[in-house]
């Protein structure tokens, strides 16, 4: 039995309890995997990878061997979230999105939360995601964050925490959908037996959420991509295709009389709703960065006048600033009068004197991250760093304390993972996707990212991470 010598001690493992027994939700999967055996599992894993290659779900690596196309590493052992846990996660995520949305409305509007001194005003104004151009803005139906990818992790005791909010252009939902298709082909017997909540209708939810942003009947909808060289290009075209909408680049769009048009073979055609997958400040050279090569001049003004709807709204970046993140529990309490259902990871703000002192003295035990870093860049993992790296990072922090936060090193939960022809434990996180339209929809499951290097806690695909299918049962 090749899973037998798997060890899950001193950690929360998704499949096994600390006494080494499989958890109830994994019972069937474990039995099935064992009866298949290692050789069969490797065989199925190889054919799953081949299917992903055929579908061209790849990213390109540039190195000394020239260009290499790779699939995002995909592990065939699923990560299962039991339904009772999911119910509370779903509630917690809805609560969080609702509060963050009220927060955005407030800080670009009346600013009550600042007047009431729940959050210091300069915390907001010094955030690079805060766009003063958005002050006074009223997005359609008062919704700012239409699409969210929230990163969740378990602590050593197995409790879920929010690690960060991604409120601008969260990526990865296409992998969730493609992984699921491949898993259905790879393990039909598991899908026949288990009641796995489906995810295939996400694009329909996304589309109807986008339609909800306008009163135009039969609106023209487009996904706006920076282009084919963007690392998430596959996802952009995937979503456009599944929704049956246009995929446009900046050069396909033009603004005339404060309306947005796309250039078609039959002349200009008005665009009503845009799901933009391009950063705020690159959207419009006349309102934001004048050096953007990707933007469309005048689109922000067209948006302000209500002639085009944008998802997510510009300016949402202030709410996923990692410093503002530390205030989210207070934000939930302030706007909803409720306790947060999913807690934050304890966070130290380097801009706060005592916190800064603590961080500088304990950097070897902490994870320190830049407030606006992403993709595993601009961070240091204390216990895995050298003395010199720690000293260098301290200088960075001291030079710009507002830009750094620190958190204890979390012992992320693990899931058995097929490494070569053996099962080993690997750390995972979870990114569910949430859509805010007429109602708030939480996709059951989400993207489980897995750190493929032994012992590594870094799950980002840009750092060699892979993914697993996530199953919510029942």
Q: Residue numbers of the site for another protein (CB under 8 A)?
A: 53-56, 228, 233-234, 237-238, 240-241, 246-249, 251-252, 262-265, 267-268
Complex with another protein: residue 58 or 198, whichever CB lies closer: 58
Complex with another protein: residue 42 or 268, whichever CB lies closer: 268
410 contacts 150 by C-beta, under 8 angstroms: no
- Work out how close the CB of 266 gets to another protein at its nearest, in angstroms, rounded to a whole number: 8
Complex with another protein: residue 241 or 365, whichever CB lies closer: 241
Tokens of 356: 């800064």
- Work out how close the CB of 228 gets to another protein at its nearest, in angstroms, rounded to a whole number: 5
Complex with another protein: residue 52 or 379, whichever CB lies closer: 52
312 contacts 146 by C-beta, under 8 angstroms: yes
Kind of pairing between the strands at 366-370 and 379-381? antiparallel
219 contacts 208 by C-beta, under 8 angstroms: no
324 contacts 124 by C-beta, under 8 angstroms: yes
Distance of CA 137 to the CA centre of its chain: 25
Peptide bond into 312 cis (omega under 30): yes
Which element (helix H / strand E) includes 51?
helix 27-54
- Work out how close the CB of 244 gets to another protein at its nearest, in angstroms, rounded to a whole number: 8
319 contacts 165 by C-beta, under 8 angstroms: yes
- Work out how close the CB of 297 gets to another protein at its nearest, in angstroms, rounded to a whole number: 17
Complex with another protein: residue 53 or 135, whichever CB lies closer: 53
Helix (H, G, I), strand (E, B) or coil at 85: helix
Tokens of 422: 């053996």
- Work out how close the CB of 186 gets to another protein at its nearest, in angstroms, rounded to a whole number: 17
Residues 6 or more apart from 57 whose CB is under 8 A from it? 71, 72, 174, 175, 178, 234
Tokens of 62: 């540039």
Complex with another protein: residue 160 or 261, whichever CB lies closer: 261
- Work out how close the CB of 16 gets to another protein at its nearest, in angstroms, rounded to a whole number: 38
Complex with another protein: residue 55 or 118, whichever CB lies closer: 55
Q: How many helices (H) and strands (E) does the chain have?
A: 13, 22
Complex with another protein: residue 239 or 350, whichever CB lies closer: 239
- Work out how close the CB of 249 gets to another protein at its nearest, in angstroms, rounded to a whole number: 7
Beta bridge mates, 150:
165
- Work out how close the CB of 312 gets to another protein at its nearest, in angstroms, rounded to a whole number: 20
DSSP string computed for 190-235:
HHHHS-BPP-TTHHHHHHHHHHTT--SSS--EEEE-S-TTSTTHHH
Residues 412 and 160: their CA atoms lie apart, in Å, by 10
Complex with another protein: residue 46 or 251, whichever CB lies closer: 251
- Work out how close the CB of 314 gets to another protein at its nearest, in angstroms, rounded to a whole number: 24
């Amino acid at each position: 039995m090749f899973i037998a010598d798997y060890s899950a001690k001193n950690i929360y493992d998704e499949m096994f309890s600390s006494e080494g027994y499989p958890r109830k939700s994994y019972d069937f999967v474990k039995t099935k995997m064992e009866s298949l055996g290692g050789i069969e599992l490797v065989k199925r894993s190889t054919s799953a990878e081949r299917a992903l290659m055929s579908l061209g779900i790849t990213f390109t690596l540039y190195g000394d061997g020239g260009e290499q196309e790779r699939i995002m590493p995909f592990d065939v052992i699923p990560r299962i979230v039991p339904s009772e846990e999911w119910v509370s996660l779903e509630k917690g995520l809805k609560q969080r999105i609702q509060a963050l949305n009220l927060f955005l409305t407030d800080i670009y509007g009346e600013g009550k939360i600042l007047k009431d001194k729940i959050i210091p005003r300069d915390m907001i104004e010094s955030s690079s995601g805060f766009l003063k151009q958005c002050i006074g803005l009223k997005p359609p139906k008062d919704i700012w964050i239409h699409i969210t990818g929230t990163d969740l992790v378990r602590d050593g005791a197995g409790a879920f925490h929010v690690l960060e909010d991604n409120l601008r252009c969260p990526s990865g939902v296409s992998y969730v959908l493609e992984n699921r298709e491949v898993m259905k082909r790879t393990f039909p017997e598991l899908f026949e037996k288990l009641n796995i909540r489906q995810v295939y209708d996400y694009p329909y939810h996304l589309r109807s959420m986008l339609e909800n942003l306008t009163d135009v009947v039969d609106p023209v909808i487009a996904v706006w991509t920076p282009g084919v060289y963007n690392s998430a290009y596959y996802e952009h075209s995937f979503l456009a295709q599944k929704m049956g909408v246009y995929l446009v680049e900046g050069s396909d769009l033009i603004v005339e009389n404060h309306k947005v048009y796309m250039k078609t073979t039959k002349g200009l055609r008005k665009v009503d709703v845009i799901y933009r997958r391009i950063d705020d400040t690159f959207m419009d050279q006349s309102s934001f960065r004048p050096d953007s090569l990707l933007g469309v001049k005048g689109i922000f003004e067209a948006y302000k006048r209500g002639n085009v709807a944008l998802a997510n709204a510009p300016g949402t970046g202030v709410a996923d600033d990692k410093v503002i993140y530390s205030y989210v529990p207070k934000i939930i309490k302030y706007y909803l009068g409720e306790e947060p259902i999913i807690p934050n990871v304890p966070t130290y703000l380097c801009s706060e004197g005592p916190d800064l002192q603590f961080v500088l003295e304990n950097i070897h035990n902490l994870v320190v991250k830049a407030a606006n870093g992403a993709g595993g860049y601009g961070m240091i993992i204390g216990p895995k760093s050298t003395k010199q790296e720690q000293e260098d990072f301290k200088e960075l922090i001291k030079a710009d304390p507002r830009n750094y936060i620190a958190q204890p090193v979390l012992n992320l939960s693990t899931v058995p993972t097929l490494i070569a022809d053996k099962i080993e434990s690997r750390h995972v996180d979870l990114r569910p996707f949430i859509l805010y339209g007429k109602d708030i929809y939480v996709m059951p499951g989400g993207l489980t990212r897995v750190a493929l290097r032994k012992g590594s806690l870094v799950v980002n695909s840009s750092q060699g991470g892979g993914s697993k299918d996530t199953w919510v049962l029942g």
